[in-house]
Chains A and B, each alone.
Chain A
Amino acid sequence: MTTHEAPALRVTGLRKVFGDRAAVEQVHLSVPAGSFYGLVGPNGAGKTTTLAMAVGLLRPDAGRAQIFGVDVWKDTVRAKSLIGVLPDGHGMPERLTGREVLTYLGLLRGMAPQTVAERTEELLQVLELDTAERTLVIEYSTGMRKKIGLAVALLHAPRLLVLDEPFEAIDPVSAVTIRTILRRFVEGGGSVVISSHVMALVEGICDHVGVISGGRVVAEGRLDEVRRSRSLEDAFVELVGARAGGVEGLSWLSS
């Protein structure tokens, strides 16, 4: 696949207010095509809200989102055919088994039945979900839910993957599998955006990072430009301006 001129994902001036609290304020991000992009930030920084607005799951109060130059809110159908999404904590067709979910969504997308069957089989095998043939998604563990969500995002071979916290609650072995899948996806010309608050993870796999805090982007660019000779964790703490706690109090815990 050839890399595109336009960035894989570009958001400009995104803003979202819940009640009287601005969850996201003036967010600008640019994800170059072919990059592995990590969006990092503390809890409640606005990562999930930003990603939901970027892919068309949450209508922004202001700002634009474009996927390979296609406006998400104007040319919705075309934009959506280019991306695969794993939102955080959203529901699934809970009363289907993993195989049924993939079959259902593949057929709903109008993919050829043969292709759907083959990809479903492969995805279930690679993600080790094929042992739970009788289990409905509602009975899945948190980690299994992430994996079936990832399979859903990959099923139609999108050009951009937007994954919200893909490694949360995933066991170490599966995490390695997923990292490998995502690396191969990028090597094959795809682009990936993940959000996380685990710095070591982002540092290990991403080549671009965006740091978001308090609903604003405080730094963005190539990994080396953002962290400069420090670890990403140190850079992050400095950028976010937080102070690490846990030194005082709780003296009764030592027995």
Chain B
Amino acid sequence: MAVVLIRMRLALLRNSLRGDRASWFVLGTGAGLVLAVGTIVVAVLWPSLLPAALAVWLMGWVFGPIFTGGGEVLRPEYFAMIPATPRRMAAALLAGAFASPAVLTTLVALISMVVYGWRFGPLAVLVALAAAMITLVTMVLISRVTVAVFGLLVRSRAAAVLAAFVTGTILALSGNGWALAVAAATADLSLAGTLVRLLPSGWGIAAIESSPPVALGILAASALAVVLLVSAWGALLSRRVTSAARGGVPARRRGPRPFPVVRGMHVVAAKELRTWSRDLIRVHLLSFAFFYAVVFTLLPVSFGWWGMVPFTGLIAVMMGAGASANLYATDGTALWLTLMTPGAERHDVRGRQLAWLLAVGPAAALLSVAGAAASGETWAWPWVAGLFPAVLGGAAGLVVLIAVTSPVPATDPHKRGSNPLNSGADEGGETGLAWLMLIAVPVTALPAAAAILIEPWAGVPVGVVTGALCAWGFGRIAVRRLTSGGTELLTLMKHGSAAGPAAREEETSAPDLPLGHRTAIIVCYCLAWLPLFPQGLVPMFFKLFGVQDRVWFLALYMPDAWQWPTITFMVSVGLLMYGYAILFPMRYKAAETERA
């Protein structure tokens, strides 16, 4: 049975390697191999850091599946009706789980243990070989058990929030993780060295460093841990397969509070607020925005820089806007009710805006005040006070505008698959929308920023006015678009983007782009912000306004004569990357269409 499952897993992998997935796959495996070789390099050059590097791999196995939403290719539910004992099924599924590129790259990374063992003599190499195998199995098993536990919790708000915490932390680390490196360079690491050896990823290292009898003991104990993990996993699996699915709805203990008797947009807002708290996807998206903002701004505090903390609320609003950009599409075809109710379009747009403001605004305002107060950065107060209303209003306008004008079709909520955090929308398209928001929302705050530069507290009235204007004006355009094109929007939700020529243009990446370009486009989308914003525009503002802090901006570390050229270079690189990622698919598609 194990062989059959390994074959099935490989077949699924082969079949899934089409279109965008293929480029993600190439990119992911490539990055994994680079990291694996990097781990071996660590073992050669900085052996004392190897346990920490291995701990990172373990974290990857634990949090990766939560981050990507399950990570199960062979779902136990597929085999629920196969007549086999749970233990046999678990063993076979485990074998199937090993037929994966992630396991192969981890195996490459674990060669570093053998390299490490080399320093301690031939016997240690043998220990290292055994330990590497056990570590690999342990990592895969811990990952499976995490997924299984998560699967039991998954239809609860707690799990949605936990997943949001993981996603938010990982993305915040990818943006501001450098801060930890700066902090580590100055801190005392002896305690950390013990700690990483206590993690399952460090047991092998501990065994290699020990005398032979102790090493054998550690290996035996790790093998026992593997056995325990297998049986725990088997038990969790059989529980999961026989428990009822609940379609992404948190369990309810009591009856709902009565629906308020209100009119017009307030009715829609009441419905929307209930949806924000009852739909796990929305719970997940909003908590993600807040976790991201908090972790992102707190990371530099690790080396004593509080400069980002006052802006936690602002970042939360922007991430919240990015996460809500597909607001209409995630409701799917429920739009028909708005269309069939005479004159409901305006109430629908305004109600959604109101609910969004209520869901994001108060918490973000609280974070802003708390952040500004806690940081002790007094210069930040006028910035926060002026930019917050501008950004909040701008986001409230842009959320509905973008949701109506460029939705990425998602699966209807009642037809969603077993992962309650997956809306079924094309992920590339949704990410594109989020980026669009992250660029467009700050633009709406430019007038307020300009006012603050001229006269610090003038930003507040300007921010309030532009915020209100944006919320009202963009909302108005959204109402018009929904009234005139609501039917087309519904058709797009029902039949997907294949339904009409207008809809087809919405797709961000054409399925017929060559693999190399598609991969490059994803890389550009993911990384272009780095040169453009933190390395380009932000140091530019720092220079313009004479901020002395150099933080981590390359340009400010350069000799004076090179600072402006570096900033210009970084901005152009960022713009070029965005330009390529956005324009190339369009031009390519146009050329293809002409040829056809």
Contact residues of A with B, CB < 8 Å? 18-19, 55-59, 76-78, 80-81, 83, 85, 87, 89-97, 99-100, 103-105, 107-110, 113, 133-134, 136-139, 145, 152
Contacts and interface: CB of A to CB of B under 8 A. Distances in A.
Contacts of B490: 57-58
Nearest to A17: B500
Interface residues of B, number: 46
What are the 8 tightest A-B residue pairs by CB atom distance, in nearest-first order?
A91-B334, A95-B278, A91-B333, A77-B342, A90-B333, A95-B275, A91-B332, A103-B259
26 contacts: A59-B487, A59-B491, A76-B342, A78-B342, A90-B333, A91-B335, A92-B334, A92-B414, A94-B275, A95-B274, A97-B256, A100-B259, A100-B271, A104-B271, A105-B341, A107-B263, A107-B267, A108-B267, A108-B347, A109-B344, A110-B263, A134-B252, A134-B254, A138-B248, A138-B413, A139-B249
B189 interface: no
Contacts of B279: 94-95
Interface string B366-382: 00000000000000000
A78 B342 CA distance: 7
B498 A93 contact: no
B337 A105 contact: yes
A138 B414 contact: yes
A78 B343 CA distance: 10
Interface string B272-284: 0011001100000
Nearest to B494: A90
B486 to A, nearest CB: 9
B342 A109 contact: yes
B340 interface: yes
Interface string B257-269: 0010111100110
Contacts of B347: 108
Interface string B542-569: 0000000000000000000000000000
B447 to A, nearest CB: 35
A68 B339 CA distance: 19
B275 A93 contact: yes
A198 B543 CA distance: 76
Contacts of B341: 80, 105, 108-109
Max chain A C-beta neighbours (<10 A), residue from B279, B341, B495: B341
A139 B54 CA distance: 43
B499 A18 contact: yes
Nearest to B280: A95
A146 to B, nearest CB: 13
B488 interface: yes
B354 to A, nearest CB: 14
Contacts of B331: 91, 93-94
Nearest to A109: B341
Given A94-B414, A95-B274, A56 B256 contact: no
B262 to A, nearest CB: 7
A81 to B, nearest CB: 5
Given A19-B498, A56-B339, A95-B274, A107 B334 contact: no
B304 interface: no
Nearest to B276: A95
Interface in B401-423: 412-414
B122 interface: no
Contacts of B344: 108-109
Given A57-B340, A91-B333, A94-B414, A104 B270 contact: yes
Given A19-B498, A55-B340, A134 B255 contact: yes
Given A58-B490, A91-B413, A139-B246, A80 B342 contact: yes
B534 interface: no
Contact of B336 (A59, A90, A110): A90
A110 B255 CA distance: 26
Nearest to A77: B342
A4 B301 CA distance: 75
